[in-house]
Amino acid sequence: MKKEQLFEAIGGTDDELLALSEKPVRKRYTWIKYAAAAACLILVLAVALPIGISELDYQRNGIALSDDSYQVRAKYTEKSPGDQTAASLINLTEEELFTYFDTAIFKGTVTEIENIELSFNGEKAYRAIARIRVEAVYRGSCQEGEEVSILLPCAIDTDTKVTDTEVVSAMRVGMHGIFMPMIYEETSYWEQNGARLALKDLAPYGLPDGERYAFLEIGDGLVFARWAYESISDAATLEDIETYILEMIAK
């Protein structure tokens, strides 16, 4: 039935009433609908955003690991983890420092250092990966001019202190040094908190500890574990260290 017919049926048309009837009717519940949708969106974001940020961080900075590693995640980080405690040093003689681990020995320049965060089933540990441009090889298969990566036993940060890593903690980009990193094998694993990390997933080499396997040139002096190398405790240059190393590996 048309509007005119409807009003005629109830007693004639009223122009004013008819005009009002032509106006659109506002749906008062519209704001409720949009408010409810906004509330749902806020709830979804509140729940998902922290997870999303964490996952995005790993996507951007994550280090791909092989199937030999499990229940562990790794990523590059600028985070300073604060004071840490390193593993106790194994008691070794000067001769054993050259034979206990299968180490490569070379001289080179530090070109890059990146801190990494490791999560073993949620239990965090911090290390660093240093890249060294090789300048001379005394033992091992690396080549002069090659750039190699070494896993360091601590993060490198001026605000970070790790016990028994005084020498490595002094490492900075641009430094020259002689390095004695352990060569990682397929069976080189780090197990912690029910997780396992294949060390080769991070680097082909790693320093066994933060004191005795690096000799760093700082300004006009040297930083190394003089207490561990008593026969060269007065060494002043990398040339002194080089001469000593050649004598030791020739034995």
The answer to whether residue 218 is domain-embedded is yes
Across the range 232-249, mean pLDDT stands at 97
Q: Are residues 107 and 221 in the same domain?
A: yes
Give this prediction's pTM: 0.77
Across the range 153-171, mean pLDDT stands at 85
The confidence score (pLDDT) of residue 46 equals 45
* b/e code 43-82 from CB counts within 10 Å (16+ = b): eeeeeeeeeeeeeeeeeeeebeeeeebeebbbbbbeeebe
**Within 13 Å, how many C-alpha atoms sit on residue 73's CB side?**
15
19 or 130, greater pLDDT: 130
Across the range 220-229, mean pLDDT stands at 95
Across the range 15-23, mean pLDDT stands at 48
The answer to whether residue 226 is domain-embedded is yes
The confidence score (pLDDT) of residue 152 equals 96
189 or 219, greater pLDDT: 189
Residue-wise pLDDT for 33-87, tens only, equals 555 555 554 444 444 445 555 667 666 889 999 999 999 999 999 876 665 666 6
**Which of these, 62, 64, 69, 74, lies nearest to 198 by C-alpha position?**
69
The confidence score (pLDDT) of residue 54 equals 61
The confidence score (pLDDT) of residue 176 equals 97
The confidence score (pLDDT) of residue 164 equals 87
Residue-wise pLDDT for 116-126, tens only, equals 999 999 999 99
Q: Where a domain ends, among 33, 60, 87? A: 60
Q: Are residues 96 and 210 in the same domain?
A: yes
The answer to whether residue 66 is domain-embedded is no
Q: Are residues 39 and 10 in the same domain?
A: yes
Q: Are residues 88 and 49 in the same domain?
A: no
Question: Mean pLDDT, the chain, as a whole number?
Answer: 83
Q: Are residues 216 and 99 in the same domain?
A: yes
Q: Are residues 14 and 91 in the same domain?
A: no
The answer to whether residue 49 is domain-embedded is yes
The answer to whether residue 67 is domain-embedded is no
Paired residues of 112 in beta bridges? 131
The proportion of the chain whose per-residue pLDDT surpasses 70, expressed as a percent, equals 73
The answer to whether residue 103 is domain-embedded is yes
Residue-wise pLDDT for 165-201, tens only, equals 999 999 999 999 999 999 999 999 999 999 999 999 9
Number of domains comprising the chain = 2
The confidence score (pLDDT) of residue 84 equals 64
The answer to whether residue 189 is domain-embedded is yes
Ramachandran bin of 103, using left for φ above 0, alpha for ψ from -120 to 50, beta for the remaining angles: beta
Q: Are residues 166 and 42 in the same domain?
A: no
Q: Are residues 133 and 15 in the same domain?
A: no
Q: Are residues 107 and 211 in the same domain?
A: yes
Q: Are residues 102 and 226 in the same domain?
A: yes
| The two three-digit tokens of residue 89, written as one number | 């040093």
Across the range 199-221, mean pLDDT stands at 96
The answer to whether residue 46 is domain-embedded is yes
The confidence score (pLDDT) of residue 36 equals 54
Confidence of residue 95 (pLDDT cuts 50, 70, 90): very high
Domain that holds residue 18: 3-60
The confidence score (pLDDT) of residue 219 equals 85
Q: Are residues 52 and 83 in the same domain?
A: no
Q: Where a domain ends, among 17, 36, 60? A: 60
Phi first, then psi, for residue 90 (nearest 5°) are -75, 135
Give the CATH number for residue 225: 2.40.50
Q: Are residues 30 and 91 in the same domain?
A: no
pLDDT at 9 over 50: no
